[in-house]
Amino acid sequence: MRIKSLTARVLLLTTIWSSVALVVIGLLISTLYRKSAERGFQDLLRAQLYNVINSVAIGDQGALNGSPQLGDLRFAQPKTGWYWVVEPLGTYTAPPLVSPSLGSATIPVPSVLEAPFDKNYERYYQVTDASGNRIQVAETEVVLDTDGRAARFRVSGNVDVVEDDVRNFSHSLYLALAGFGVGSLIVNALAILYGLKPLDKARAALERIRAGESEQLKGEFPREILPLANEVNALIDSNRRIVERARMQVGNLAHSLKTPIAVLLNEARVLERSHGELVRGQAEAMQGQVQSYLNRARIAAQRESVLARTDAEPALERLVRVMRRLNVDKEFELQVAPPHIAVAMEQQDLEEIVGNLLENAARFATHKVRVVAAETHEEPKAGESARRHWVEIIVEDDGRGLEPDQIREALKRGRRLDESKPGTGLGLSIVTEIANEYQGRLELSRSDQGGLKARLILPGITKDVA
């Protein structure tokens, strides 16, 4: 699964790397310490071995004499694994000397092939004594007099001493490394969060722009982010100029067409009734078409503008207030929840499409028209923008409603299902076109009140910005 948070990515990578590095360092230090402890243990046995050699000699009667004092009480305590033994070699026969800790027991001795002597004529090997102790043995052979009489010297130590030492050291080491690792991760996390703080400020500035609370990225940014902020500000300025130029051109075109169409409508009034109605109908249709395409051109020019924002509640309240004055015999209910809903579109476009829906609802309603605006998080259809926030505006009435085939006909440009009602038949098609230009959509269905339910899904903006 891909991690989308930059902070989480860096923290994860540093955590993995620190964990692996600390484990490797811990194992390496523990291994090096074990080797050092084993070398120290072997040096101790060698020193004790030569102490025994220096303490033993052949007496007047040919017996081995000596009482080695190795300064370690474990050589005097039985079954400790700390022993020393002196045995005559070859033709020299005499009772061996053993440490009190060994008593009548013996030390298992491997063959020279299994544990050969080194260049100093010493050999070291590990065996298990009669008490079950795993012991390290240092052994050598020494000639004791000028007659060539020799003896084999052995000194052993319990390997558990080394194991306990290594275990205690490793335990302390791992605790220290664990504490260091946790501390490093905390420091790394704080450093990363502090280092990425300017990105949070940039995101908050962009949110303020998107919410219509600011027109540029403002704030103190570090050297690495400053070029990006400057480019974004330049893009916003360019976008604003394009929007203003498109609006000016749209206004000029509307003004240039307004007078010819008005002349046609005036001339239609003085013509014969049949011809006048024909000319007037065509002029009104042309006026509607021109207005529709002008709206589409204007919306296309500013559709991607990050500054397009309209608060839904005050705009809807104005429309409902006007409809109440024009339709005093009908009830209009408005619900906006939560009250801070904002739509990512121009106010005049929102008022035009909702106004069209309200006019249709008021025209066909029996007693009541209901308007509801709320946030929705439903997935957009294929081809629509994957915005995070969407606003749902529902306009429904208690009239007789439409059947599914009538709904399809009503959405066609210029189609009027009820010729007894005034209108050009362009309302719903204009609503659909404007909604589509903003990557929203219009859905028609039967209302719970019995009439028509028009549901607008429009791109929204949350007012709660960082």
Q: Where are the alpha helices (DSSP H) in 220-346?
A: 226-270, 273-302, 312-326
Question: Each residue's pLDDT tens digit in the chain (466 positions)?
Answer: 566 777 788 888 888 888 899 999 999 999 999 999 999 999 999 999 999 999 998 887 888 888 888 888 898 899 899 999 999 998 888 889 999 998 888 899 999 999 999 998 999 999 999 889 999 999 999 998 888 889 999 999 999 999 999 999 999 999 999 999 899 888 888 888 888 788 888 878 887 777 666 777 777 778 877 888 888 888 888 887 887 777 677 767 766 776 777 777 777 777 777 667 777 777 777 776 676 666 666 665 555 454 567 889 999 999 999 999 999 999 999 999 888 888 888 888 899 899 999 998 998 899 999 999 998 876 555 444 444 578 999 999 998 888 878 877 776 654 544 544 444 445 677 888 888 888 888 888 888 888 899 999 998 876 543 3
In terms of phi and psi (left: phi > 0; alpha: psi -120 to 50; beta: otherwise), the region of 57 is beta
Q: What is the pLDDT of residue 379?
A: 58
Q: What is the pLDDT of residue 414?
A: 47
H-run or E-run covering 103: none
The CATH architecture one would assign to domain 310-461 is: 2-Layer Sandwich (3.30)
Give CA–CA dist 317/91, Å, rounded. Answer: 122
C-alpha distances (whole Å) from 443 to each of 263, 345, 365, 395 are 38, 19, 18, 11
310 Cα distance to chain centroid: 32
Q: What is the pLDDT of residue 295?
A: 64
Strand partners, 396: 370, 453
Q: What is the pLDDT of residue 209?
A: 76
Give CA–CA dist 102/159, Å, rounded. Answer: 16
Residue ranges per structural domain of the chain: 7-164, 227-302, 310-461
18-27: long-range contacts (C-beta < 8 A, 24 or more apart)?
18/181, 18/184, 18/185, 18/188, 19/181, 22/177, 22/178, 22/180, 22/181, 25/177, 26/170, 26/173, 26/174, 26/177
Q: What is the pLDDT of residue 194?
A: 83
Backbone angles phi, psi at 380, to 5 degrees: -70, 160
Give CA–CA dist 111/99, Å, rounded. Answer: 23
97 with 56: CB under 8 angstroms? yes
